[in-house]
Amino acid sequence: MAALKRTAFAMALAATALTGLPGCRPASTARATTPSADDAVADASELPARRALAREIYVAGVPLLARYAVVHARNIDRASAEYQGPLNVLHWAMVSAESSRAEPGSTVSASLDLRAEPMVLRVPALPAARTYVMQLTDLLASVPAQISSRSSGNQAGDYLVVGPGWQGTVPVGITDVIHADTTLVSLSGWLQQLASDSVHSRQQLHRGFRVQPLSRYLGIAPPPPTATAWPQPLPADLARQSALFFGQLDALLSFAPMQPGDRDLRRRLQQLEITPSQRNLAHAATRALRDGMADGQREIDQRRVAVEDCQSDGLQGRDGDYSDAVSRACAAQRTLKEG
């Protein structure tokens, strides 16, 4: 039922954005009379609040749309030029000394699908001289964990990555449990290359890192697969300028199940729906949504210019997470741009 309501609301928002007409209620509950002039004045007075709410929701929702677009291009859409391979698989690439990094090494990326069951990330034992970092980032641009030679040492470890609401038993042998707030999580990492490394030794190192479902880790039967219905990401220009943004955000909230302490993004999103009594303001209300988006994007752009680099310490807290909603949106858009 919840999924049906989400779909219906997203369709209503999309119809409103495309045609300027409200998402009408059934005839039995719709207002039978034409809105009066007093109604129009009262509704018009709400437009500034609608614009402010749209700005807030846009800034909060940018990471979800931007990071999902990257996951979709890299690990879901096989026709994408950026496609790297399937979900739940580590994808390695060499970084030469001539690249942006000061020293050569290997980068690794993956998208973890936690809907059916948790995933186990294995980090092998490494020589003390070799540095590495593995960062997990959810669709909200929060960083649930960063595993590195600096924070965790170079000993081997098995890390259980669980999605929101998981209440299973932690198996013996798990080094730590990483709780993510969304059911899709991105992994990015870097492994230092030493002068003594050969192609074969690097390949052996890469094989030591592994991602596998919890059921495979335990040697038991896997749970039933989750039905897959991947929303098609909005083109970048529509994601920044069209009120279709809010319909896409509503659809993607299925990857961010509501948790205790939720900021109630869903309730605030529903406040943007145009009611029958506001039919005479449908165009103005939709324009308020777009104006609110423009306000939010302007704030994101100003932050980007101010710090010059969305990965700088000016945006991140001590734990590697981004310091506020604008910083998360800025970083997420940069990730989308760089691919």
The model's pLDDT over 124-145, given as tens digits with 9 standing for 90+, comes to 999 988 999 999 999 988 899 9
Give yes or no for residue 4 having a pLDDT over 80: no
Residue with tokens 């259980």: 160
Cα–Cα distance measured from residue 161 to residue 106, given in angstroms and rounded to the nearest whole number: 23
Q: What is the pTM of this model?
A: 0.80
Of 288 and 322, the structure prediction assigns the larger pLDDT to 288
In percent, how much of the chain has pLDDT > 90? 56
Q: What is the DSSP string of 34-99?
A: PPPHHHHHHHHTTHHHHHHHHHHHHHHHHHHHHHHHHHHHHHT-TTSTT----TT--EEEEE-TTS
| Residues pairing with 111 in the sheet | 186
How far is CA 299 from each of CA 66, 90, 99, 165, rounded to the nearest angstrom? 17, 35, 31, 33
Cα–Cα distance measured from residue 306 to residue 321, given in angstroms and rounded to the nearest whole number: 19
Q: What is the pLDDT of residues 256-288, one digit of tens each?
A: 886 555 556 777 787 887 666 666 667 888 899
Paired sense of beta strands 105-113 and 91-95, if any: antiparallel
CA atoms within 13 A on the CB side of 78: 1
Phi/psi for 122 (5° steps) reads -100, 130
Give yes or no for residue 40 having a pLDDT over 60: no
